[in-house]
Amino acid sequence: FFSISDEINFKIDSSTGILENNISPLAIGPYSLTLSASDGDGNVNMKSITITVQAVGVTPPGFKVAFIADQGLGVNDSEAVLNVILNEGADMVMHQGDFDYNDDPDRWDAQINSVLGADFPYFASVGNHDDGAAVWPAYQQKLTDRLALIDGAVCTFGSGGIGVKQSCTYNGLFFVLSGVGTMGSGHAAYIQDEMANDNSIWRICSWHKNMKAMQVGGKSDSTGWEVYEECRAAGAIIATGHEHSYERTRTLSSIQNQIIDPAWPDANNVRVGEGSSFVFVSGLGGASIRDQERCLPSIFPYGCNNVWASIYTSNQNANHGALFCSFNVGGQANKAHCYFKDIDGVIADEFDVTSFNSVPAGSSPVAANISPPAFNEDTESIITLSYTDAENDLATSAALSALTNVSITTAASCITGVCTVGVTGTTDYNGPASFTYTVTAGGQVSNVATATLTINAVDDAPVALADSYMTDENTQLVVAAAGVLINDTDIDGDSLTAVLDVNVSGGTLTLNANGGFTYDPNTDFNGVDSFTYHANDGTADSNTVTVLITVNPVNEMHVQSIDMTAKVKGKSTKSQIFTSVTIVDANGPVAGAQVTIELTGFNAGVTDTVTTDSSGIAEFTFSSAKAGNTYTSSVTIVFKSGFTYDPPSIPSNSITI
């Protein structure tokens, strides 16, 4: 006996357990159900399941398709490629012809079964190594048998049957398999008719051969341009093989003329929609690997008017592998992410695809990319938050989160669909930064996109701080390197030099680039002197600061006067000379100073040291002066502690007997 928890939306046959929807149509979205099975004896088994109802023409989230061609059997890398497909979790393979090169359908089918299983969804179009009249029907039978095991695949066929003119819908993906250039005719008309009857978001055209301009090897024109242009007009991805290499174009608005869509020129972001598509060759399924013969050079950007977004041949040391595309990613039904991975794990190409084909109402916008991604430190950058919306709804708001090394300085806003935000890096920071954001358009919130930023370093101006120094009157001040720069800083760690702006006024200054300086105060100057300077880091100047120099006054004593008199004593040839020296300072007479008085004259010279009295006077008498001689006195002061004097202030005196 079977029962179900949600009897409003679903019904279940209590005897058979067949589950059906109870409401038609069911609203799009997930439904969580609990199924119960009872044997009537009290034994109950319960199971929780989730049923997701999708819009018509929408793939399941993350539905992954592997594209290969030019395969071969296990003696080469064909089995290794199938194992990559298995390990990458592909949900389906689309094979663009050339199966095993041995006309051996049994071995080819067994090879697929041994790795992927007999019921793995595997679709293929005929290649020029598969089309033999004796063997192609056997390949078709293998494909027919496999199709019968693919649950949910709905296919129709034109003349030529499976693999020649075949259109299928599987898990919301619509694709046409064609034998153009290999088998049959009227392929362009068949593609046009099939595409006209479809409204899926994702459409794919698949065939084996190509036109010369749509591969980079030595292949010649084989298909005509009509099939390419019909698929482009329908907004279908164009998958080919034949050339044993991998290459992919940018978005093209004309495939025949190789014109890049001016609205989508980005190599790693392509679109499909009515009138735009891209082409790829994925021919590294396991057979040989060929050279790049066209559109040289062999490094990006390539030749041929820059049409090619990626090329992977023997010139690029290619190995065998497959192109993988995951459809309906990031919560966006019209978004796909693709990458080519070889058997060594090398990702040779990676890109995103946006479909502008029929989109269910209410589809969310797709947030991706910001501009500009780089700006200077300590400067606000107004960043545009890019997005796409399959319904062309304009964004009305944006929200930021997870800010790293940046802060919002102008709030995010959307004006006529253009969303911007102002951000500034952390003070003085340079390096990587990021934030995440969403936009809202048509009432739907986008995926969470990550904005990766680079904050460029700039030369920050140094910061100078004021300084002060002190010296005594009439005493030179000597300041060693780094001097005035010792307390100045530069956040970038640059070396600093000192540059004089305004010189001192009370003395003589020599300012060295290393910050050291000498200062000589003017004679007898005391008080405060100053100069200004700034620091330079080789590029930027700091602020200007003032350096104060305090010149302390000193208590100077000096000879105020020297008086000399002569007195004749006894004989006229002998006389006495009296010398009186007066010592004063700023406060008056200086007592206790030792004064050495030297008296010089004709054949005579004598010195004596006398201490000044309370009046600051030191007296000296010379009793042996001779008449007719001239005597001159000079004075040397033995200073008291704490006193200095200015030698030029000492006078001299002379007398003639």
pLDDT digits (tens, 9 = 90+) for 262-276: 989 999 999 999 899
CATH topology of domain 558-656: Immunoglobulin-like (2.60.40)
Model pTM above 0.75: no
In the chain, count of helices (H) and strands (E)? 5, 46
Q: What is the pLDDT of residues 307-330, one digit of tens each?
A: 999 999 999 999 999 999 999 998
pLDDT at 89 over 80: yes
Instruction: Report the alpha-carbon distance of residue 66 to residue 82 in Å, rounded.
Output: 10
Kindly provide the b/e burial profile for residues 565-589, where b requires at least 16 CB atoms within 10 angstroms of the residue's own CB: ebeeeeeeeebbbebbbbbbbeeeb
Same fold? 63-355, 558-656: no
Q: What is the pLDDT of residues 434-454, one digit of tens each?
A: 999 999 998 888 888 999 999
Contact status, residue 368 vs residue 389, Cβ threshold 8 Å? no
How, if at all, do strands 246-249 and 279-282 pair? Answer: antiparallel
Contact status, residue 317 vs residue 298, Cβ threshold 8 Å? no
133 class by beta-carbon count within 10 Å (0-12 exposed, 13-18 middle, 19+ buried): exposed
451 class by beta-carbon count within 10 Å (0-12 exposed, 13-18 middle, 19+ buried): buried
Mean pLDDT of 506-530: 95
Structure tokens at 573: 């040839």
> Is 170 strand, coil or helix?
strand
Instruction: Report the alpha-carbon distance of residue 440 to residue 40 in Å, rounded.
Output: 53
Structure tokens at 229: 């242009």
Choices 3.30.1490.100, 2.60.40.10, 3.40.190.10, 3.40.50.11900: CATH for 366-456: 2.60.40.10
> Is 100 strand, coil or helix?
coil
Q: What is the pLDDT of residues 106-137, one digit of tens each?
A: 999 999 999 999 999 999 999 999 999 999 99
Q: Which class in CATH covers the domain with range 467-552?
A: mainly beta
Q: What is the pLDDT of residues 55-81, one digit of tens each?
A: 556 788 899 999 999 999 976 799 999
Q: Give the residue with greater pLDDT, 576 vs 214.
A: 214
> Is 212 strand, coil or helix?
helix
Contact status, residue 539 vs residue 528, Cβ threshold 8 Å? no
**Lowest mean per-residue pLDDT among 17-21, 91-95, 219-223, 464-468:** 17-21
Residue with tokens 């700023």: 586
Q: Give the residue with greater pLDDT, 94 vs 459.
A: 94
Question: To the nearest whole number, what is the mean pLDDT of the chain?
Answer: 87
Instruction: Report the alpha-carbon distance of residue 184 to residue 159 in Å, rounded.
Output: 8
Q: What is the pLDDT of residues 392-407, one digit of tens each?
A: 789 999 999 999 999 9
Q: What is the pLDDT of residues 137-152, one digit of tens each?
A: 999 999 999 999 998 8
Element (H, E) at 86: helix 78-87
What pLDDT sits at residue 137? 97
| Count of beta carbons in the 10 Å neighbourhood of residue 347 | 11
Instruction: Report the alpha-carbon distance of residue 182 to residue 223 in Å, rounded.
Output: 8
Residue with tokens 């054949």: 603
- The answer regarding whether domain 63-355 maps to CATH 3.20.20.70 reads no
Nearest to 360 by CA among 199, 171, 174, 195: 199
What pLDDT sits at residue 332? 84
Residue with tokens 């990550």: 450
Single-letter amino acid code for the residue at 275: G
Instruction: Report the alpha-carbon distance of residue 548 to residue 467 in Å, rounded.
Output: 6
Domain boundaries, the chain: 2-53, 63-355, 366-456, 467-552, 558-656
Q: Give the residue with greater pLDDT, 632 vs 641.
A: 632
User: In the chain, how long is the greatest CA-to-CA distance?
Assistant: 168
Instruction: Report the alpha-carbon distance of residue 366 to residue 355 in Å, rounded.
Output: 11
